[in-house]
Structure 1
């Protein structure tokens, strides 16, 4: 997968009958690694027995474009590591094996036994596992070598798994089909019978057929080509034997794509090839330079040359995968990824070539750490090349904030199970970033380089290898105490679906502080099981006001999985401290009120905003608000931390502001405090928006337009007249058009302000466009229109009109999916869910009749109408409804009971925090002029 700054290691071609010289698969199996339970659940696979291993594959594949099928023959050279009479290997259920012609031949050392057929008792397909078994009549001894031969047939898939097909329209308007493979993580078994585990790395000798006017791009060069006698217009290419590969790294593409003319670069090795359809060539001319720059940067980091002499990057038309398909020396990208993106995606895929494909993770749990390393190094490479322009400086904050929110839930991933793998990898990537800072960048880099110098199992690694070599380097460089290992540190973070929060309580007279850690829980109630048992190794990086040095991130000390610890020698009582500056570790930090207020005061000075860097200003703001939301900090203190924002113009510091405006605004929008909060938002955002101006300037940075858009969106929500008037002007062009059903000329940004603040006539026009939406247009446009029709209005009349048509009248233009969408959008704001609740209460009998046979809709309606209240008033409303219709809720009985329980918890929050928020807003609004004719 990836390399170091060693001299280039020549990859000698291994002949098909040779024995691999690296440590055996069995030997590796006995080594232990961190068990990432979350990772294991995501890639479920049973390991094959350890008594027989592959030495090499001889593979002949014959795809048929016309029938979307393929046939093949594979000869696998095997070695017995223990006596056995059962050969087990992977074969997908859809791969058809010719079981009558399976053969096993001895590959003996003497001429008498060589080539002799071994008697087979039977073959079998396991019903619940993608495994094919060959039972021999007699067991073979340890050290025996045989060749297993299997003929098979399979389907060419429409989706990107195994061998799949794609298509595009060429420059002449003709449809062109191509075939490609996607074998990651364990789809090679859909293509041919094999030992489909990452640690089995063997050479391949491959032949692949193709139409004569197509080209096959594979890992190795073509030795010869010959016509197929039994298939007119087809030829077969015979390729040079590859270096040892895992099955997931094996791949090819058969297409009519052509090579983009290479632009000169100063990169001598490897040779770079870019493949694409002809009419895209002009857009890809600069990719050679991008790849060259990226390769040089990565080679410099690893201190080792690229492990292949050639790399092929393919712009695959219509590729449906979320991420590129990476094989050793062959990477398939979406066209847009190569045309539009910067350096990150290219860097990530090239890092995978060193660490992932060349140096390969032993098992899927190790692959997650591998992915995290690739992500971290790719981001570092991209930032180094373009000074952070690709990310607008947001890496890793965007990822970090989402991790904070996910892991502070009562049940992480409960709503988005498919995201678990991504968040696990992202958290590991953040831990690597923390180690890079706390150990030192050179120590971290040199520790990773050791992966390529290790003597045992040189081309495989387990997670423990990463931590072991980082520890060795850190001890040698004296950047980690001798009694501490990186394994201990990393394990404490990676094996939990949680993050800690650190609290710093200062004793100003004694110049000390008690620093404590516990599980960070933002979502209420904080009743997570076993939270008292969770502890982390936490680096305490300390900045003090009398020494504002933000270039040394060596920990003041480590919290070694202890509940609390004492900091000493702190500054005087008029000086603040900052722990975990620049988000070095993925954890929020709380302080005593006095330290927070010292920080708030300092940030309101010009010196303070200059001395405290961007990421740390953003962190302080983000931590304060989220700790207040979680109930761990007074909202008065959190609001004080926003006072410096009237001077702040860095978009990275503003990003968390929009999040907390949204979160807090939604939470309190049923209370009387909300109107005062909206005034505060207007005062906060208006100077920023007016300074940025209403339209982008020529050649301005991307972040400015993004910041302008966010400020405008939230000002529109708060009733900013210029925004609403602009939206209505644009919207009326649609209303005045002759055929409004033919298309929507209005930008999406204008629709919600019109539906929220505009007239009933304007809203009704939108409703009619949904009702009369022509099937020839994209349904996504209708979906967006319906979402805004339901989710944006604050007018009770508009919402009731929509509910009457869809629920009572059961208008046939609205599907059940539409109703689910409407309920979901109404639950997003108090106007929506309060109106929905009252509508349910007033029309109970008819709604019950209409939904009698629609249990899912009924349950969803009850959840949306009762589950989002946050005050005692809301609790009383839902409680009275429950009492009045006791026994009538049917399948939704448990839902309203859960709603009452949740509302009671939220009511506690409101009772505790709304008075504090209101008192702070009252005091603040006395100091500012709130008369502004620009707002409704």
Structure 2
């Protein structure tokens, strides 16, 4: 073991370039992580095992390490390519030839280790690539031990590969420190020099130095502890050797944490670690973990792959997601105290898929991530978590429908593309689980895991295993492969819609698939060439068997198919029930109307809530896209007067918001708000008062209902908000803090008095510097975005834009402009303000063109009607040449608004006519 600093013997660092090697890829996807480069290590040397020693001393803000890598020379070479952070200080490097990996040589002659000289080491500037040049080539089949001693700073930040942090023990008031690692996705190179690619799996033997009163944990159970002779009060913890694993799976935590163990696990040691005073909050975690592991063991038919699992609650842990190292999971404290099991199930799923079986390269990490997410949902549903059932998969579906139906999906955001791609692949797994049957699906994945455990895999390995099992179970024709099905969905940043045209006399139907486009114009190039493998699962009104998910047929990259003997003329049909595949379905008007009428009867519960939600969601999305009449879509909401399931309501709130933003006419707005009040009031009255033990879905439903009812002018809601707000206005010192819930602010600023709004405005002007600035930001957002009175908005703009008050900085103005675009009254008033004060505003911002451009953008780009278009065109003609840097903004605005005008002309008369009839009938019923 080493402790003291070792002088550099034969290592000279210079900078140069390193050329990577080519690797095989499966179904091509974008890089799984934006920070993963394409630089690859050559395949001439592969690791056989690692021996890693670590000692960290927070008081010196340093850590020291020594890594011994036994490696095999696949090809003769005199260069060793490794990953190593350029911030390492290398203390010593030794290369020793220790044997030959010659399976054909039966000689038992002992091999005498031979030291190999090192000429120099080369680190590429700005890149973690280390090349060690040897004095002579090492022959193919040789095994050498690469030993590197190093040191590096130990940061006090939880975003690095190894870090230290601290917390105050509430019992002793002492400051306690701890050390932890966080190596996902490719940060092992910042902890020790290594072959830091997922395909280079090897066993690890890990040794950790610590103070005697502390505890260390790692991937495997502790083997033995011995005193550190050269440093009194310190010991070495030696851990048992791991199975072969990737470098990112390495984990170490050194702390004074307390722990609790699971009671029921006999062959698996489950422990939860946390600071002692936080431990009472985690008493139910081990029970959750045991349930999750039982479900996953049953799914994979493979026991938990290690003898122990440690779960750590880290104070002040600031990363985006937990550390899911093999056998050691580290979470934020808040993540382990949540009611549900999602966070635990998600990271535990990686113990099999990601650690036991590992993607060859990051291009397959999307498939790995997607399958883990599917398994997480599967697991949580199996252990009867209600919220998981209500949140999955519909919430995810809505977001990817919106994203993939845009003219330009993802924009320039790599992160959005990564997330939406993984979500879509997860839904492909869900589709296969339904269409192949759960048992076939599980057996196919079990076959895959049995073959690839302790190894690496490509995405194709998963699809091939599923294909093989599907053929055995006769779930797919011989000429069909799961790879073909999956590729048709994964390789397109798009989704289809299936149009169904029924021939009621002939009991047949023609199904056509096409690209689903929600935004206008529908001018995506080559859209007629987009086709998918689409499973057609069909149910009829007389046979609503939602357990039957076997497709009647597959649309095998076909634009159109015909189905015979579909249903009787007086029966509705449902295609793609339970959202088995990620695609909406459009029916002819007659079938939609039969569905709408049936949902208003007591028989609607024969249709599960997932499918009820799907029918509403499909209808509104298709109407928004111009493929269905809004009258039909609005008819699909009539059954909601008796609906109390939060999942069925989720899409409704989204569409109320979307359509509300398109209605600029005060007359239609008033009718639409009456419709909202009639729709939501019965639900609001039926919802009980909040309770401590209610599930998250019900709480979310109540909150959304209140927000939209208040926004629509529901008097009891407004009166409640004003009563709460009055308490703030009557405080002796209202600037000490806001004593009321944020939900009350917008109703007061929208429907309340000028005095109430002005009181809120004064709180922004007098906001104390020592209070949380996020509170001021929220208050400013509601002051700008909520008012319904143009005169209030105009006064606000006069004060913030023209007066140049010191209280309002540039970021405040950006926020105000943006919030005004969400309300027709807001952006209409902003436009009039710009028109009337054009010269003053332009002069005010002549040194800040970014603010001028932002104001012009917010004032001109969100109109939806011909009246708005005419206003902008007139202003442009009157001020031609005066817009300066914002000239391109208004030209683009006029082009885009033409599409909005076409949408409004097509749909607003239909919506208004339906609202007139609805409100007339509602009034007649109330009179009776």
Report TM bin, short chain. Answer: over 0.9
State the match for 2:408 in structure 1. 411
State the match for 1:105 in structure 2. 96
Name the CA distance, whole Å, in 2 between partners of 1:415 and 1:605. 47
Answering whether residue 620 of structure 2 is matched by residue 625 of structure 1, we say: yes
Name the CA distance, whole Å, in 2 between partners of 1:588 and 1:764. 47
Relative to structure 1, the CA distance from residue 562 to residue 95 in structure 2 (aligned partners, 3 Å threshold; closer, same or farther) is: farther
State the match for 2:668 in structure 1. 673
Instruction: Give the secondary-structure state (helix, strand or coil) at the position aligned to 2:661.
Output: helix
How much does 1:723 deviate?
0.7
State the match for 1:211 in structure 2. 211
State the match for 2:302 in structure 1. 304
Answering whether residue 653 of structure 2 is matched by residue 658 of structure 1, we say: yes
Name the CA distance, whole Å, in 2 between partners of 1:397 and 1:319. 31
State the match for 2:894 in structure 1. 900
Name the CA distance, whole Å, in 2 between partners of 1:119 and 1:541. 68
Name the CA distance, whole Å, in 2 between partners of 1:711 and 1:904. 34
How much does 1:382 deviate?
1.0
How much does 1:537 deviate?
0.6
What TM-score comes out, normalization by structure 2 length? 0.93
Name the CA distance, whole Å, in 2 between partners of 1:685 and 1:730. 22
Instruction: Give the secondary-structure state (helix, strand or coil) at the position aligned to 1:117.
Output: strand
How much does 1:224 deviate?
4.3
How much does 1:701 deviate?
5.0
State the match for 1:334 in structure 2. 332
Answering whether residue 467 of structure 2 is matched by residue 476 of structure 1, we say: no
State the match for 1:735 in structure 2. 729
Answering whether residue 572 of structure 2 is matched by residue 581 of structure 1, we say: no
Name the CA distance, whole Å, in 1 between partners of 2:692 and 2:329. 36
State the match for 1:163 in structure 2. 162
What does residue range 302-451 of structure 1 map to in structure 2 within 5 Å? 302-386=300-384, 388-391=385-388, 393-414=390-411, 416-451=413-448
State the match for 2:83 in structure 1. 90
Instruction: Give the secondary-structure state (helix, strand or coil) at the position aligned to 1:371.
Output: helix
Q: Is the 8 A contact 2:387 2:696 kept in 1?
A: no
Name the CA distance, whole Å, in 2 between partners of 1:499 and 1:42. 28
Relative to structure 1, the CA distance from residue 533 to residue 41 in structure 2 (aligned partners, 3 Å threshold; closer, same or farther) is: farther
Answering whether residue 869 of structure 2 is matched by residue 875 of structure 1, we say: yes
How much does 1:227 deviate?
5.0
State the match for 2:753 in structure 1. 759
State the match for 2:836 in structure 1. 842
State the match for 1:788 in structure 2. 782
State the match for 1:24 in structure 2. none
State the match for 2:200 in structure 1. 200
Instruction: Give the secondary-structure state (helix, strand or coil) at the position aligned to 1:195.
Output: coil
Name the CA distance, whole Å, in 1 between partners of 2:453 and 2:614. 42
State the match for 1:130 in structure 2. 128
Moved more, 809-818 or 416-425: 416-425
Name the CA distance, whole Å, in 2 between partners of 1:200 and 1:888. 62
How much does 1:930 deviate?
8.4
Relative to structure 1, the CA distance from residue 64 to residue 700 in structure 2 (aligned partners, 3 Å threshold; closer, same or farther) is: closer
Deviation per residue, 1:304-338 (Å, 9 max, x gap): 21111111011111211222111110000111221
How much does 1:95 deviate?
2.7
Name the CA distance, whole Å, in 2 between partners of 1:796 and 1:326. 53
Instruction: Give the secondary-structure state (helix, strand or coil) at the position aligned to 2:391.
Output: coil
Moved more, 729-738 or 392-401: 392-401
How much does 1:198 deviate?
0.7
Name the CA distance, whole Å, in 2 between partners of 1:592 and 1:528. 25
Name the CA distance, whole Å, in 2 between partners of 1:178 and 1:358. 28
Q: Is the 8 A contact 1:38 1:424 kept in 2?
A: no
Deviation per residue, 1:631-657 (Å, 9 max, x gap): 111111111111222222222211111
How much does 1:529 deviate?
2.9
Deviation per residue, 1:730-780 (Å, 9 max, x gap): 101001001100011010111110011111111111111111111211111
Name the CA distance, whole Å, in 1 between partners of 2:447 and 2:153. 43
Name the CA distance, whole Å, in 2 between partners of 1:481 and 1:245. 37
Relative to structure 1, the CA distance from residue 176 to residue 529 in structure 2 (aligned partners, 3 Å threshold; closer, same or farther) is: farther
Deviation per residue, 1:12-67 (Å, 9 max, x gap): xxxxxxxxxxxxxxxx9865411113637663342111111111122222212013
Relative to structure 1, the CA distance from residue 538 to residue 824 in structure 2 (aligned partners, 3 Å threshold; closer, same or farther) is: same
What does residue range 530-929 of structure 1 map to in structure 2 within 5 Å? 530-607=526-603, 609-670=604-665, 672-692=667-687, 695-696=689-690, 702-929=696-923
State the match for 2:6 in structure 1. none
Q: Is the 8 A contact 1:439 1:474 kept in 2?
A: yes
What does residue range 468-507 of structure 1 map to in structure 2 within 5 Å? 468-507=464-503
Instruction: Give the secondary-structure state (helix, strand or coil) at the position aligned to 2:565.
Output: coil
Consecutive unaligned residues in structure 1, runs of 5 or more: 1-27
Name the CA distance, whole Å, in 2 between partners of 1:448 and 1:426. 19
Q: What do you get for the CA RMSD once the two structures are aligned?
A: 2.2
Deviation per residue, 1:891-926 (Å, 9 max, x gap): 322222221111111111011111111111122222
Q: Is the 8 A contact 2:342 2:388 kept in 1?
A: no
State the match for 2:73 in structure 1. 80
Q: Is the 8 A contact 1:823 1:864 kept in 2?
A: yes
Name the CA distance, whole Å, in 2 between partners of 1:431 and 1:315. 34
State the match for 1:18 in structure 2. none
Relative to structure 1, the CA distance from residue 297 to residue 392 in structure 2 (aligned partners, 3 Å threshold; closer, same or farther) is: closer
Q: Is the 8 A contact 2:183 2:249 kept in 1?
A: yes
Q: Is the 8 A contact 2:541 2:571 kept in 1?
A: yes
How much does 1:117 deviate?
2.6
Name the CA distance, whole Å, in 1 between partners of 2:280 and 2:131. 51
Q: Is the 8 A contact 2:209 2:234 kept in 1?
A: yes
Consecutive unaligned residues in structure 2, runs of 5 or more: 1-20, 101-107
Name the CA distance, whole Å, in 1 between partners of 2:753 and 2:308. 63
How much does 1:365 deviate?
2.0
What TM-score comes out, normalization by structure 1 length? 0.92
Name the CA distance, whole Å, in 1 between partners of 2:259 and 2:388. 30
How much does 1:263 deviate?
5.3
Relative to structure 1, the CA distance from residue 847 to residue 698 in structure 2 (aligned partners, 3 Å threshold; closer, same or farther) is: closer
Instruction: Give the secondary-structure state (helix, strand or coil) at the position aligned to 2:677.
Output: helix
Name the CA distance, whole Å, in 1 between partners of 2:381 and 2:180. 32
Name the CA distance, whole Å, in 2 between partners of 1:523 and 1:907. 13
Moved more, 902-911 or 139-148: 139-148
Name the CA distance, whole Å, in 2 between partners of 1:66 and 1:697. 47
Instruction: Give the secondary-structure state (helix, strand or coil) at the position aligned to 2:388.
Output: coil
Name the CA distance, whole Å, in 2 between partners of 1:701 and 1:115. 65
Q: Is the 8 A contact 1:291 1:346 kept in 2?
A: yes
Name the CA distance, whole Å, in 1 between partners of 2:662 and 2:28. 39
Relative to structure 1, the CA distance from residue 701 to residue 53 in structure 2 (aligned partners, 3 Å threshold; closer, same or farther) is: closer
Deviation per residue, 1:499-555 (Å, 9 max, x gap): 111111112222222211112111222222332222111100011123222110000
Q: Is the 8 A contact 1:106 1:113 kept in 2?
A: no
Relative to structure 1, the CA distance from residue 230 to residue 842 in structure 2 (aligned partners, 3 Å threshold; closer, same or farther) is: farther
Name the CA distance, whole Å, in 2 between partners of 1:858 and 1:541. 54
State the match for 2:8 in structure 1. none
Name the CA distance, whole Å, in 2 between partners of 1:401 and 1:650. 17
Instruction: Give the secondary-structure state (helix, strand or coil) at the position aligned to 1:216.
Output: strand
How much does 1:867 deviate?
1.0
How much does 1:113 deviate?
7.1
Instruction: Give the secondary-structure state (helix, strand or coil) at the position aligned to 1:340.
Output: coil
Structure with the greater relative contact order (CA < 8 A, sep ≥ 6): 1 or 2?
Answer: 1
How much does 1:111 deviate?
8.2
Instruction: Give the secondary-structure state (helix, strand or coil) at the position aligned to 1:926.
Output: helix
